[in-house]
């Protein structure tokens, strides 16, 4: 999820589990520890595929928190040893827990988290919640406000943090249920049309938990629609047919194409445009997008081929602009979710 929410989660765990032993330091350092795994974003500087390859990779694996957290905790314990501020168990426990909560939260989103790296490069994604969700974040803020006012080590503050963690965890699993329910409803609607065996995948959308982007594949036909379980209505499908061309196959077989397919969990959409110099192939990630052209996502890869079918330029990663101003996009999400202006 977003960096601020990861910091809030680390701080809340610090208050709940370690506030009585470390006081305010448990909240401050818990917040900073909660964002440590996202330092892997520096991999974006290695090239256009760097973020796809390494973000939510090594620093998001399940072993990273226990190893890095124990080492950092030991260093902090030695730093505070003369002042007798906290035990080795408290400092190590704080950093282990705060770092480990980061990938465990990320796995509830759609991006894909390599929990088992390096033993497996599988990307785990439960599709329960968007990367920005104010309800989730504000519940953590409320607990931290209680701690700030009553003292981070007080019984009331620890109880408030524990309640916030319990409520937000239920909220995450509610999001997972919403996604499964969305897929079940869509499959039922397709079967009513006489369509069976279609691949149906639903994904959370920004700022709330009820609106889901749905991608349906049946043969070469792809449907993209939106379904809100707050205000359920049959999706108004946008449809297109997958493009087929030898240069699309060549782009997919390239190293960059294979990385992108792995990153997008196979949920991609290609298109080709013939030009005077050759052809341009674009491959989009269909997991993310706004209602516009259904075959377009928020980002993708662009391949330029010359007339002989050779790559004429380095593979380019692109981000598509919003199809409408940000305010109008937010209003559209609200309208689709709650069925009101």
Name, in order, each residue with C-beta under 8 angstroms of 287's C-beta and a sequence gap of 6 or more: 110, 201, 203, 213, 215, 264, 265, 267, 297
DSSP string, 27-75: HHHHHHHHTGGGGGGGGGGG-TTHHHHHTTSGGGSTTHHHHHHHHHHHH
Round to whole Å and give the CA distance between 229 and 170: 17
The mean pLDDT of the chain is 94
Q: Taking each helix axis as running N to C, give the angle between helix 88-106 and helix 64-80, from 0 to 180 degrees, rounded to the nearest 10.
A: 150
Instruction: Please determine, for residue 341, whether its predicted confidence score (pLDDT) is greater than 60.
Output: no
- Ranges of each domain in the chain: 3-175, 178-238, 242-319
> What is the mean predicted confidence (pLDDT) over 286-303?
91
Whole-structure pTM value: 0.93
pLDDT of residue 340: 60
Least confident of 73-77, 230-234, 290-294, 331-335: 290-294
Round to whole Å and give the CA distance between 230 and 212: 10
Q: Which is nearest to 54 in space by CA: 129, 123, 7?
A: 123
Instruction: Please determine, for residue 129, whether its predicted confidence score (pLDDT) is greater than 90.
Output: yes
The 10s digit of each residue's pLDDT in 14-57 is 999 999 999 999 999 999 999 999 999 888 888 889 989 999 99
Instruction: Please determine, for residue 117, whether its predicted confidence score (pLDDT) is greater than 80.
Output: yes
Determine contact, residues 77/88, Cβ cutoff 8 Å.
Answer: yes
> What is the mean predicted confidence (pLDDT) over 229-250?
94
- For residue 29, report the phi and psi dihedrals to the nearest 5 degrees: -75, -30
Name, in order, each residue with C-beta under 8 angstroms of 188's C-beta and a sequence gap of 6 or more: none
pLDDT of residue 82: 60
Name, in order, each residue with C-beta under 8 angstroms of 114's C-beta and a sequence gap of 6 or more: 56, 57, 58, 60, 61, 120, 121, 122, 123, 124
């Amino acid at each position: 999820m977003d960096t601020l929410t990861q910091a809030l989660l680390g701080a809340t765990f610090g208050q709940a589990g370690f506030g009585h032993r470390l006081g305010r330091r448990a909240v401050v350092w818990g917040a900073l520890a909660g964002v440590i795994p996202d330092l892997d974003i520096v991999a974006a500087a290695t090239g256009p595929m760097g973020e796809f390859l390494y973000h939510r990779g090594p620093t998001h694996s399940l072993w990273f928190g226990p190893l890095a957290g124990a080492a950092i905790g030991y260093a902090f314990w030695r730093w505070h040893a003369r002042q007798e501020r906290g035990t080795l168990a408290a400092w190590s426990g704080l950093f282990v827990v705060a770092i480990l909560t980061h990938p465990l939260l990320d796995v509830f989103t759609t991006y894909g988290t390599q929990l088992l790296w390096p033993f497996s490069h599988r990307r785990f994604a439960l599709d329960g919640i968007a990367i920005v969700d104010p309800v989730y974040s504000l519940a953590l803020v409320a607990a931290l406000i209680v701690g700030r006012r009553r003292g981070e080590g007080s019984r009331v503050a620890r109880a408030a943090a524990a309640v916030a963690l319990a409520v937000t965890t239920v909220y995450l699993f509610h999001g997972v249920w919403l996604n499964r329910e969305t897929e079940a409803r869509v499959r039922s609607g397709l079967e009513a049309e006489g369509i069976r065996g279609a691949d149906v995948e639903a994904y959370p959308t920004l700022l709330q938990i009820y609106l889901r982007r749905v991608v349906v594949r049946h043969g070469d036909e792809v449907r993209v629609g939106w379904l809100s379980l707050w205000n359920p209505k049959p999706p108004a499908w946008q449809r297109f047919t997958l493009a087929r061309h030898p240069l699309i196959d060549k782009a997919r077989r390239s190293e960059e194409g294979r990385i992108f397919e792995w990153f997008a969990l196979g949920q991609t959409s290609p298109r080709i445009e013939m030009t005077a110099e050759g052809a341009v192939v674009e491959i989009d990630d269909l997991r993310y997008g706004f209602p516009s052209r259904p075959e377009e996502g928020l980002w993708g890869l662009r391949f330029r081929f010359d007339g002989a079918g050779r790559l004429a330029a380095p593979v380019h990663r692109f981000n598509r602009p919003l199809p409408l101003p940000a305010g109008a996009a937010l209003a559209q999400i609200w309208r689709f979710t709650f069925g009101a202006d």
